[in-house]
Structure 1
């Protein structure tokens, strides 16, 4: 059990900060085969999908539905349904996926922005289009990825790519756009970063669980730091799992394999956020021999070896429902590491000291 495993670590059972209540964790995707390297490219893919979906599957700017939600500047927000979930539940031919119920403007906002006031204008083709303030952009934005089947595990499922310059609404078998295809397409998910190899163990209320096993059972009892934890006073509590991120296809991943003085071993991707001995959150690729990792009981464990290697397969990550920085620190292989939020929404906080009692709302 958790108390026996972690001994003197206090399990804070107090109320969590206000957060979204979910029936179960959601699944998001990492897409090394169809990777985009910049936010600008991700945003362009999202806008391309919105435009193609409206032109090919909606067909009329007047075919909107009223969400009833207030638009910043007045009026209510209007959205478009690209596919009917009852008639086309797999979304054949859709450019927005079932994750957001084929709601086109909603999909774009969820992919590109954090929550905030939503503005409404019309695009060049007369369709309602939403946006938010630039400072609400996600640190790493999401984008849809496509294939020939809604079942990513199907043996005949083939990765599809939009035109390299997004010049048309067709799909291609190659990134250079030389092999067009005319078979029905499907959105397989929205892509983001992920970090752990499948055997890496994450701390849940019952103890450590390999992340692949946790994802397969949609474990929602994730253990994280309490929001008021500091490096001198680490406390853990049972949080809730917001999402699991999994790789859609086997691909070559670049890894750091970190070995510590105590014999601990952490195998993660290069950009994975890790807490070092200064209470600073850094990318794994910046660590060096002699630096220290922080164990869940607060003790420091010097790094004695770091190996760079490649791994062919899938990688995974996890995020709690809480959004404050400190309670997005969880325990992997016994060490404090950041959730996937630090690679996406909170990438701007990488290389900041966050465990010395400084309120996170005043961190510049």
Structure 2
């Protein structure tokens, strides 16, 4: 089957946390025989910050962020057996959504793939004229990369025929243990861009603990933190390319995950960073969120902090041996239960069943 996938970027993780997710899932689907064309706009300087070359498992079409170019790529949806519009493309999102659904063939499987369901659902609640309300009856599936039952029930309440969470996962070929590097050495590291609905939690779970532990070293990676006030024991290193993620995660004593406000409130939304860090064998400390137990066991495979004091306590109590043991246990769990091979098999089954359903309905 041919998949036309309209997303933010496959080639760049710059201000694009979904890149690892797209790469892991789509590369696995390609191995299962799907022919994939990924459409991404030349926007937000992502093409100037590519961290992979065009892969051999996908045809990547980079188009100018102009109305004419958008119309041209929309028209190509008619060639596909599966048409996917992902959330968060960043430019012409509404036009792409309505356009590709209208341009797709009647027998094509039409999907909205939401990589930030809490944010999208908030938009749907606040805006009765959101185009997703209009196209929902024409969609065969809504897939989400997190959310669990709260997201499923919300989407079905908005008229989705079927909503299925396809969670983030690990690609062991790209995220794995690596030698430690001095430039990433720290007692606690955090990787994430500066976003309005994450900043307060970064202050609570990372910056305030750093102030309370002046004798410990803290490292923060990600874009946007250049102007943020931080204590002298915090180093900011800017954007960290995907090629450096393994070393970044393997070098410190522990790695911190901090969910955005909306994802923490919704639960069942493990970030890509969770799987990347644990896949590299890192001892992960994460803020608490509902559904964590589906992925990692608290105290054995992951450490959980419910506030900044918990982060301080974990860092003070953690020894290298304890950190190594948690990292090894977490990696064993993730590589057993939460790889993109497993997620790809799930998506493959869903797509084939949906395609069969549409064929049978057209014959009846």
Both proteins in one fold, TM over 0.5: no
Which of the pair is proportionally richer in strand?
1
Q: Normalised by the shorter chain, which TM-score bucket?
A: under 0.3
TM-score by length of 2: 0.26
Higher relative contact order (CA 8 A, sep 6+): 1
TM-score by length of 1: 0.26
**Which structure has the larger Rg?**
1
Task: Compare the two structures and name the one with the higher helix fraction.
Answer: 2
